Amino acid sequence: MKKLALVVLMGALFLAGCAINQSDKLDKPAVQSVEVKPQPTIRLTAVGYGASSSFDGYTPGQRRLMAMRASKLDAYRALAEQIYGVRVVGNSTVSALVSQNDGYRVYVNAFVRGSRVISVTPMADGNYETELEIDVSQSFYDYFRAGAEASAAPASAGNSTSPAAVRGSVGPGSYYGTNFYYSE
């Protein structure tokens, strides 16, 4: 019995000693608070239009759904153009100093995540209009804006790792250095 009382007493003293050693740590905050400023956002909105198909093999319901889908895809394309810009590839045929044929293609290659469908509105003749919006952080927007502005400098300025090396700009006083145009 004395042994049991001695073990209990030793255990109590041990735990009391641990509690005394921890008391100096209680005065310090365990987690330091850091004030984080909210990131300002920019809201971009895009509208897309979809036409009803005239293919006789589709039911009226299929035509309506395909027009809605086409308007949504067109809105996504318009939103991607606002965020990332477009790539324009063109060619011209000249014969005897007279332009014979001009052709161009416009490419949009983008990954858009986080957009919201605001409205899908039926229009006349079975057509649809879709409105999308996305909130983009100011830093994300500034990154692409800086790329467009930095491309105004000649490529020999040594900024080949900047966004301007991937994107270009066309406008008053700008230098076109890539196959990408910035759309505003």
Average pLDDT rounded to a whole number, residues 143-167: 52
Per-residue pLDDT at 70: 94
pLDDT at position 115, please? 93
pLDDT at 37: 78
Read off the tokens for 80. Answer: 């991607």
> Confidence band (pLDDT; 50, 70, 90) for 159?
very low
Q: What CA–CA distance (Å, rounded) separates 84 from 144?
A: 7
Token couple for 102:
């001009």
SS (HEC) of the chain: CHHHHHHHHHHHHHHHHHHHHHHHHHCCCCCCCCCCCCCCEEEEEEEEEECCCCCCCCCHHHHHHHHHHHHHHHHHHHHHHHHHCEEEEEEEEEECCEEEEEEEEEECCCCCCCCEEEEEEECHHHCEEEEEEEEEEHHHHHHHHHHHHHCCCCHHHCCCCCHHHCCCCCCCCCCCCCCEECCC
Query: Residue 147 — very low, low, confident or very high, per pLDDT cuts 50/70/90?
Result: low
Task: Sketch the domain layout of the chain as residue ranges.
Answer: 41-181
What is the reported pTM?
0.58
- Confidence grade of residue 69 (pLDDT, cut at 50, 70, 90): very high
Give the model confidence (pLDDT) of 91-119 as tens digits. Answer: 888 888 888 888 888 888 888 889 999 99
8 A C-beta contact, residue 119 and residue 131: yes
Q: Using one digit for the tens of pLDDT, what is the confidence trace for 9-49?
A: 677 766 666 655 555 555 666 677 788 777 788 899 999 99
